[in-house]
Amino acid sequence: MKTTTAKIIWTMTDEAPMLASYSLLPIIQAYTQGTGISVESRDISLAGRILSAFPEKLNEDQQVPDELSVLAELTQDPAANIIKLPNISASIPQLKAAIAELKSQGFDIPEYPESPQNETETEIKKRYANNTINATNATNGSC
């Protein structure tokens, strides 16, 4: 008979919720220590969501998985245990600031096209639009 280890998925977010996450995560880890329950973290921060949207633009070591999509699928599993603290619904200015910060760190991601002039820019804007929605909506299927 196959035995599976129970696990809790912990989401890493941005800004103020990240502070709460870093405060609460050690408590969860302490409670689960020795129980056979593993605690895994998944990055659904705005930066992580942006990077996962453009894997073809990044070096292999810069690529990150689309954890939001993984979590959305996982919510369909009745055995799933996901602790997700609130995270931001990014406004366009926040999105642009995050893009600029990532570019300054060497990530070759496209600029946000305010007014797409061609099919390529329209596709880029569409990918970025997925990062301006609240991650809760993305994981519960309401987007």
pLDDT tens-digit readout, 46-66 = 999 999 999 999 999 999 999
DSSP secondary structure letters along 77-103: STT--EE--------HHHHHHHHHHHH
CA-closest candidate to residue 106, choices 61, 73, 76:
61
Q: What is the pTM of this model?
A: 0.78
Radius of gyration of the chain from its Cα atoms, rounded to whole angstroms: 17
Report residue 45 CA to chain centroid gap. Answer: 5
DSSP secondary structure letters along 3-47: ----EEEEEE--HHHHHHHHHHHHHHHHHHTTTT-EEEEEE-SHH
State what percent of residues in the chain have pLDDT above 90.
55
Distance CA 51, CA 108 (A): 9
Distance CA 84, CA 17 (A): 10
Distance CA 21, CA 8 (A): 14
Q: Give pLDDT tens digits for 67-79.
A: 989 999 999 999 9
Amino acid at 121: E
Give the pLDDT score at 139: 46
Phi and psi, residue 6, nearest 5°: -70, 145
Please check the confidence at residue 16 and state whether its pLDDT lies above 80: no
Q: Give pLDDT tens digits for 3-12.
A: 677 888 888 7
